[in-house]
Amino acid sequence: MILLDAAATTPVRRAALEAAWPYLTGTFGNPSSVHEPGLAAARGMTDARAAVARFLGCRSAEVVFTSGGTEGANLCIKGLALGAALGTALDAAGSHARRIVTTRIEHEAVLASVDYLARVHGFAVTFAETDASGRVSPAALRTALGTGTGTGTSTGTGTGTGTGTGTSTALLVTIGWANNEVGTVQDIAALAAVAHEAGALFHTDAVQAAAHLPIDVAALGVDALSLSGHKLGAPKGSGAVFVRAGVPLEPLLHGGGQERGRRSGTENVAWAVALAAACRELAAERAASEPGDAARDRFIAQVCASIPGVRLTGDPDARLPGHASFVVPGVNGETVLLELERHGVIASSGSACAAGRTEPSHVLVALGLTTDDASAALRFTWTADVEAAELEASVTALAAAVDATRALTAPRATPQRHRG
């Protein structure tokens, strides 16, 4: 079996399991307790926080452990937006100037968090335009912020249009570093700089990027970043966020004030330690290996040469290593995947978080694909240990699966009757 669905999840690393085991057994204390079992657990949390901070390029105090990418996005977006809104002065109309800028191709966790703020707290939402590959340019972000020339797309209270220059009324910009469905990578440093010029905070969802791209939050210039452990080889239910020191963050969970008051609840020491171990091992692997761009580009070229009509989705250059996504017009993506599995290859048609839904991918539709083309989507994502021979075998299997699917849907000729 060849697994090409790493964007959905990855197996837990042995190092992560071994690091977590003591905190599930002998060192099981509550890290808030002052006796020795509790202090031993607290030391584990301190060491794990320091390791994740090194992975992110930040200070330990700026790391908050979470249950994964969805909670991380919710905490950063809702927490930063509400924290910033509480600190803003009333405008002339007597209401807060509250607006969030994002894109239509974000993960559901981001879009749902933004929608919550609009529905429940009256935030305005503006969507920055993306090009056909999913890239957001600094100019497009300036337009959405109202500090450039042009018109953005707005929902909620307020408007998303702006001309000229000046200070934006937006409090927060949230744009994902790398798209999980099409693999496009954003120039986050440039976009964060634009947001800060306009006086807005900047959050990036790094769930997909963290497994492939080195992270330095200072170089990125972001105010907050969220990641998920199970994309890195840590257990599902683990994750962390970076929140820059001094940035107000309204917590989502209230209670005992753990995580410096930013996330109450008894800490999951074992999973924090496992995440730290995965981050350490991943950083070491990166330092010892070459980027996977060449293997990715070779895979894409072979697929395009083997399957008539196939089209690459996402940016051909600014995309994640180990990520290739296509549409094959005229076939159903799910049917191809079932046939592909018969050939021993596991892939996906898009976000695993949208599994079971019948509507087409919101990402592909936002990028201009028709409903039919969006239903023909295929995504192949892999970790660095997948070998070249396995990728080549997957291309052969994919071509066979597409041929078999097309044969099932090809119109049959009507038999001619002899007239005599």
Tokens for 307, please give them.
């399957």
User: Which residue among 58, 76, 279, 353 is the active-site one?
Assistant: 353
DSSP, collapsed to helix, strand or coil, labels residue 194 as helix
417 to 17, 125, 203, 379, 414: CA distances (angstroms): 69, 64, 68, 45, 9
SS3 letters for 245-285?
A: CCCCCCCCCCCCCCCCCCCCCCCCHHHHHHHHHHHHHHHHH
DSSP, collapsed to helix, strand or coil, labels residue 9 as coil
Q: Which DSSP string corresponds to 91-152?
A: -TTSSB--EEEE-TTS-HHHHHHHHHHHHHH--EEEEPP--TTS---HHHHHHHHTSSSEE-
Tokens for 58, please give them.
């930040």
How far, in Å, CA of 52 to CA of 65, rounded? 9
Q: Closest Cα to residue 45, out of 25, 67, 60?
A: 60
Known catalytic residue: 279? Answer: no
How far, in Å, CA of 148 to CA of 170, rounded? 13
Q: Which residues are the active-site residues?
A: 353
